[in-house]
Chains A and B, each alone.
Chain A
Amino acid sequence: MKYIIAIIQPDRLDDVIAALEEEEINLLTVSDCMGRGRQKGVAEVYRSHVDRSGLLHKLKVELAVGNNNVWQAVDAITRGARTGNIGDGKIFVLEMEECLRIRTGETGISALA
């Protein structure tokens, strides 16, 4: 099983969710985050204080999938998130050891669906 973390532009979220739905991947978690990459961001100034971190607002989409569905999921996110511009984002695929459905206690692949 894999745990996928995608950092995307906020206004691409609907398209990413729709693309994942086409692959019948419904379970996902979305959160607000700030990010930077090649798109270096902009330094902020508050009275005398300069904040150079240059972070921009992004969304983080997280989902867990079975080994067979990894590329389906990655492709769907790419499809939904791509605009061709710098700042489109990144997808990270991490190894996941176990998954458990809290309600029933099921584990493994059957807990993913």
Chain B
Amino acid sequence: MTKGAVLILGGRSDIGLAIAHAFAAEGHPIWLAARGVETLAENRADLALRYGVEVSLVEFDALDTGGHGAFLDGLPALPEVAVCAVGLLGEQAQDEKTPAQAIRVMRTNFEGPAAILAELANRFEARGSGAIVGISSVAGERGRATNYIYGAAKAGFTAYLSGLRNRLARAGVQVLTVLPGFVATRMTAELDLPAKLTAQPDEVGRAVVRAVKTKRNVIYVKPIWQLVMAVIRAIPEPIFMRMKL
């Protein structure tokens, strides 16, 4: 029996690729969608050789929201699982002084992902099946001075996913929110991350596959993050506002 295809939006990202590996290892065909997707030819060969699955590359620009419908119409079929791993961390210190850059961070982390998932949600709802996976962030749980532009966009995305889940629950469509915490990726290569709190991309990949199989709603990849964020959310604002985080 052939397994359903998995569409990875943001197929160049380390987390997106790791999720692709984890689904391919289970025998799912993979469609990698990214800008300048032809440069992922090596990744396509690697996935196909390692797991013996079909891998396709599809050109996709998350910010070209007007083209999203045509993008989905151009796919060979509607995928079984759609993963949105599109994201841009930005440089908070510069972005807060440069509105155009801040807007780019907000559009990449919220507007683009929300727009493409809207199209997918409508089609999955009509079909009555499918899984939508959104890679959001613990940064969206409380705004901090050091990354609130990124965090605000992720907060929006988290709320959006929660709303989609509520709407699609009756349609038989799963919506999974992934809050990975720190992950050792290209995005965080310049940051000094604490090892105990940092997941490897392949851990995220396996956790996502497991969560899709078991129909979970929200996951933190490393359980410790649930506790960390509970504490961070519980700090009273008068204290939080003076903290350096």
Q: Real complex partners, A and B?
A: no
